[in-house]
């Protein structure tokens, strides 16, 4: 399988894992050892200033905090668009990628916009490939506007609709089909 780095994984209708139901995951790394990424559409009720004050100043006025996934759910992960891709610790595509650990004062001026996540999504070797073979995920190229959307709650349906009319019914599927 080709690398999914820089792609979005959109959860399919049969994916009922509560960690990933109705999610859109940006894949930051994918190789023979596994994959990792962040869930883009799970904002938390906690602000970045409350959770990680040292990183909050880089996020702009809203300072939202997102649940990036179930792996290391308390660790901060910063997704950033920068003016110089060389400052990124893990480049995903274009000038977008991840900054890890303490973000150097020399790097901070290069950040154009950023999102802060706690935790990340991770797959061991072969695990994501097995899920893909079971049609658990739908793949779509990522766009910068997906990563930094002002409406993360509607991202799942929006990205599905972008794929075409054959995904319209799935895009309207409620989170819990039993309440339909």
Q: Is 172's pLDDT higher than 90?
A: no
User: pLDDT (tens digit, 9 = 90+) per residue, 52-87?
Assistant: 888 888 886 678 999 999 999 888 999 999 999 999
What is the pairing mode between strands 34-39 and 43-47? unpaired
Q: State how far the alpha carbon of 70 is from the alpha carbons of 42, 75, 127, 128, in Å.
A: 12, 10, 15, 15
What are the structural domains, with CATH classification, of the chain? 7-168 (3.40.1740.10)
Over range 141-168, report the average pLDDT: 95
Over range 164-179, report the average pLDDT: 77
- In this prediction, residue 149 carries a pLDDT of 95
pTM recorded for the entire structure? 0.93
Q: Is 116's pLDDT higher than 90?
A: yes
- CA dihedral angle for residue 92, residue 74, residue 23, residue 12, rounded to 10 degrees: 90
Written as six digits, the tokens of 115 are: 């999102």
Any bridge partners for residue 51, and if so which? none
Distance between CA atoms of 56 and 42, rounded to whole angstroms? 18
Over range 11-16, report the average pLDDT: 87
CA-wise closest residue to 20 among 77, 67, 75, 64: 67
Which residues are within 8 A (CB) of 150 and not within 5 positions of it... i.e. 6 or more apart?
Answer: none
Mean pLDDT of the chain: 91
Written as six digits, the tokens of 137 are: 């995920």
Q: How far apart are the first and last CA of the chain?
A: 36
User: pLDDT (tens digit, 9 = 90+) per residue, 36-55?
Assistant: 999 999 999 988 888 888 88
């Amino acid at each position: 399988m080709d690398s999914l780095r820089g792609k979005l994984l959109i959860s399919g209708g049969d994916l009922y894992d509560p960690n990933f139901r109705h999610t859109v995951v940006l894949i930051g790394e994918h190789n023979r050892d596994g994959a990792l990424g962040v869930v883009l559409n799970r904002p938390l009720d906690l602000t970045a200033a409350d959770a990680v004050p040292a990183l909050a100043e880089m996020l702009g006025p809203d300072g939202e905090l997102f649940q990036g996934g179930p792996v290391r759910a308390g660790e901060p992960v910063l997704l950033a668009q920068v003016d110089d891709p060389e400052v990124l610790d893990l480049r995903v595509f274009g000038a977008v990628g991840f900054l890890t650990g303490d973000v150097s004062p020399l790097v901070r001026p290069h950040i154009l916009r950023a999102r802060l996540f706690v935790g990340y999504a991770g797959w061991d070797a072969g695990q994501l490939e097995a899920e893909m073979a079971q049609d658990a995920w739908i793949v779509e190229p990522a766009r910068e506007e997906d990563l930094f959307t002002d409406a993360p709650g509607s991202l799942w349906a929006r990205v599905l609709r972008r794929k075409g009319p054959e995904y319209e019914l799935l895009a309207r599927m409620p989170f819990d089909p039993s309440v339909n």
